[in-house]
Amino acid sequence: MRPIQTLSALVIFVTLFLIFFYSSLHLETTDSLSAGPEDLLKDPSLQVHDRDVKTQPSKQERFTFPPPVVLNVSVSDGLREAIPQNEAYWNRLLYSALRNRDKGENPFGHDSDWSLCRQTNQDHLQTNVHDFTSYPVSIQDFLQGMNCRSPPVLFNQPNKCISAAGKEDNQTFLLFAIKSSPRNFERRQAVRETWGQEVVYQDGLKVHTVFLLGSSPLEDPDLSSLLSFEARHFGDLLQWDFHESFFNLTLKMNMFLQWTVQYCPKASFVFSGDDDVFVNTPTLLRYLQSLEPLKASRLYAGQVISKASPLRAPTNKYYIPLSFYDGPYPAYAGGGGFIISGALLQRLYSASHVIPFFPIDDVYVGMCFKALGISPEPNTDFRTFDIMKQDRENLCVNKKLILIHRRSPQQMKKLWSGIHNPSLTC
C-alpha cells in the first residue's frame, strides 16, 4: 500500500503545481496583452540604452538646439535675373531681404519667438497682402508661419553620424534624409529593411538614415508613445513640433539642413526624398564614386524640371496666387528624391536665411541653389514621375535605375529582393 500512497501523493503534488503554473502564466499573458504603449515603454526588456536620443518631453520641457553659424554668402546675379522684381508679395520680400543683406543687416530682421511669430505675422499680412482672405486656408496657414523658423525639437539624434570610435571618426559617405509623417511607420520600416539599411558598403562607404517628421494633426490619434518607442529602438527619427502639412515641407527641409550642419557636417553626400520612393543604393553609390572631385563638391542632381511656372488653378495642390508670387520658377530637382554634395550644406543653409520661405519645398531648394550660382544636374536614372507601366515589373529595367517614385512598402521589399537575387541575369 505504501508505494501506492506515495505515488498518489506525487500525482496530487504535480497536479497542483501544474495548476498553479498555468494560472500564473495565464495572468502574465493577460497582463501583457492588455498592456498599452506606455506599459511597453516601461518594460526593461524593450528598452534600448545604447542610443543617445531624447525621448519626447512634455510641452513645458520641449527644447530647441542652438542653430549653427549663418555664413554671409554672396547671392548670384542669376537669381535676380530669374525672379522678377514686381509687386507680388513674395517678390517684394525677396528684394527687401537682398537689400538688407547688401547693407550687412539681417535679411529678415530679428528671429521671431516661436510662440509669438504667427500672431506677429498675422498683422503684417493684413497690411501687405490685399487679398489675403481670398487665399485657400492652406496658403493662409503657410503665410502666417512663414517667419517661424525655430520649432521645438521633439526627437533628436545627436550621435547619428558619430561612430563607436568617437567624434574624430564621423565620416558618413551618404546620409539618407527621408521626409515622413508620424502615421507612416510601415513605409519607414520598409525603407529600413531595404535601401535605407545602415550598413557599410563596399570600399568602406558608410550609409546613415534619418526620417524627418512634424507633429500629427489634432484630429489624428495620439501616436506619441509609439513614436517614442520607435525613436529609441531605431535611433533614426528627427521630429519637430510643427504640424505636418504639404506646405510645411519647406520648414522641414530647413530644419534638416540646420541639423545636418550641426550634427553631420562631414557627410560627403545627402539624399533628400520621400518615404514612398525606391532607391537602388548600390547603383547610387557607384554613381557618386564615379564623379570627378570638382563635380562631386558642387553636386545637386536628380530629375530636373527646367521650365516651370506657378499653377494658377485654386483647386490644384500646387496652386500659387499671382498676388503672392509672379514669375517663372528657376530650374529645380524634383522633390521625390535628389542628391546634393555635403560640401554645399553650410552654404545652402546660409542661403535659406536670405531667401524667404516658399510653399513648395523642391522649388524653394532650387531657388536657394540659384542664389549660390549652382544649377541642377539632370540625371535620367532618377524617375520621380515613375517609369512606363510595362516596365514596372521588369527587374532588369529597375536594376539600372537609381530612383523610382512611387512604391508601396510591399512593392519596395519585393523589388529590393528581386534586383539583388543572385540568379537574376540582365
In the chain, which residues have pLDDT < 50? 1-61, 168
Task: State residue 103's pLDDT score.
Answer: 85
Q: How far is CA 351 from CA 65, 93, 258, 326, 327, in A?
A: 20, 15, 12, 21, 20
Q: What is the pTM of this model?
A: 0.84
Task: State residue 51's pLDDT score.
Answer: 37
In CATH terms, 153-419 corresponds, of 3.40.50.300, 3.90.550.50, 1.10.150.120, 3.40.50.1000, to: 3.90.550.50
For 297, list phi and psi in degrees, rounded to 5: -80, -10
Q: How far is CA 306 from CA 201, 302, 326, 375, 409, in A?
A: 34, 11, 17, 10, 31
pLDDT per position as a tens digit, 87-128: 999 999 999 999 998 888 888 765 568 888 887 777 789 899
Cα gap 115→334, rounded to integer Å: 33
Task: State residue 304's pLDDT score.
Answer: 98
Task: State residue 89's pLDDT score.
Answer: 97
Q: How far is CA 258 from CA 88, 271, 345, in A?
A: 29, 15, 9
pLDDT per position as a tens digit, 363-380: 999 999 999 999 999 999
